[in-house]
Structure 1
Amino acid sequence: MTEATPLRAGMLLVATPELLDPNFADTVVLLLDVDDEGALGVVLNRPTPVAVSEVLAAWGEVVAQPEVLFQGGPVSTEGALAVGWLADEDDVPVGFREIAGRLGVVDLDTPVELVDGSLSGMRIFAGYAGWGAEQLGGEIEEGSWYVVPAQPPDVFRDDPTDLWRDVLRRQPGELAWHSTRPVDPQLN
């Protein structure tokens, strides 16, 4: 991260090869909230086999493909967070809190009929990733995360398998080279 890339909601954290924690190895995290108290985000590339309709029946028809829960992170895995993309920035539904532009958090206690039709994409995450005050900054300084801008397709892509590589590939300069590293650098 450079001084020109501030840490803020709507940015992505991309795990570096040095990050070996199994909760975050090869992940892409969307930051939902960043302030002096810490940071909160969700892992974008860890789909589960659990259909949203099995656990949150009313929301099963509203979520983007694949219609499964995503493992948002190791904190509060029994809870769920939803991220949505407004179809029209002037039509903000009840229960939507903006993160960056048309991207925001959707309150799952909101009746579905008040939200349905106003979003062009929505994803539900079981759990989240959280950092205390200055903890994330320390992890970035030690080389655990790259901080890069998000693009709307990052959050709602049908197949997030190659998200880590695709996000790095589009970065300028040497950062793009990391997208071609082998899974096991010893094989290089």
Structure 2
Amino acid sequence: MAKLLYTLKLALMKQHIALLPQGTITTRQQVPKIRAFVIFITHIYAKWWLTCEKSVDAAWNDLTLYHHLQAYKAVDEGIAPSAIKALERHRWYLIGEMLPLALFSSKVPNEDKRALASAILEHKPADLPMHLSSALATTSLADLANKDCWFGMHQLHIDPEFMSRCEGMGDQCCVKKK
């Protein structure tokens, strides 16, 4: 976080830094890189980092961030792949054990919750891609569900009946009754 804040300060102080002798704080080559990084921070990273207040929102936020990073490739072909690579090292909320938490997020649309719950109930095999890749550009939370979700549900003491019951839940219903 300190690097992000320092980079933002450098960008904000650009005019004052330009008055200093060349190379005192930044080189000519660093200035455009700082600007590109600040654009990335303000348009992509800050929103993602600041809007994840609860762990139940993390999977949705991470997947949304991944989709935004895929689109950001059109803006900056240098930063987006680096950010995707960094996100691949921090994908623990996109693993089966943590996905059931998304069922309790107010950010995840009900349709996506229903799809996730249905996918968990179907016992999808764990042969899904284990690394974030370009295939995730159109991935939903339900696509990531696998048999490992059951371990997460057990650890979190989530009753599987919760996902298959709809009476009295209205819009809160996770799965439509068959």
Task: Report the TM-score when normalising by structure 2.
Answer: 0.24
Larger relative contact order (Cα-Cα within 8 Å, sequence gap ≥ 6):
1
Task: Report the TM-score when normalising by structure 1.
Answer: 0.23
Whose Rg is larger? 2
Structure ranking higher in helix proportion: 2
Structure ranking higher in strand proportion: 1
